């Protein structure tokens, strides 16, 4: 059942070290930025210590969001400045943040 924020699905998140994980994301967000929807058990869950890479964006009406990007080769992430449509509104990217390992990695 979809809640206030809409339906949530699992996406594939490819870590900088090449390991694939799953994490939840709104289906609208995943579709808008080109993330791959996968089954819940397709990969292990994203570890809590790993903060995903994301693009920062602003809508035409002034809303601000940070949306996780599953693939490090995603054109929207690499370009640094682009626009896309989501929730019937135009959005422009205003920056990006890389993957952040918050100290829990033992590799």
In a domain, 106, yes or no: no
φ, ψ dihedrals at 27, nearest 5°: -60, -40
Helical residues (DSSP H) of the chain, grouped into ranges: 27-33, 75-79
In a domain, 2, yes or no: no
In a domain, 25, yes or no: yes
In a domain, 104, yes or no: no
In a domain, 37, yes or no: yes
The tens-digit pLDDT sequence of the chain (107 residues) is 455 667 899 999 999 999 999 999 999 999 999 999 999 999 999 999 999 999 999 999 999 999 999 999 999 899 877 889 988 899 999 999 999 887 655 55
Structural domain of 40: 8-99
In a domain, 12, yes or no: yes
Q: What single DSSP character describes residue 10?
A: E
Domains contained in the chain, number: 1
In a domain, 40, yes or no: yes
Q: What is d(CA 86, CA 8) in angstroms, rounded to the nearest whole number?
A: 15
In a domain, 50, yes or no: yes
Candidates 8, 36, 31; CA nearest to 20 is: 36
């Amino acid at each position: 059942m979809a809640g206030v924020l809409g339906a949530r699905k699992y996406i594939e998140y490819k870590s900088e070290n090449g390991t694939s994980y799953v994490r939840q994301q709104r289906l609208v967000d995943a579709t808008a930025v080109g993330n791959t929807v996968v089954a819940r058990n397709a990969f292990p869950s994203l570890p809590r210590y790993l903060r995903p890479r994301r693009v920062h964006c602003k809508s035409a009406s002034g809303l601000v969001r940070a949306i996780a990007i599953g693939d490090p080769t995603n054109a929207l992430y690499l370009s640094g400045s682009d626009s896309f449509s989501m929730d019937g509104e135009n959005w422009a990217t205003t920056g990006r943040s890389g993957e952040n390992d918050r100290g829990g990695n033992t590799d």
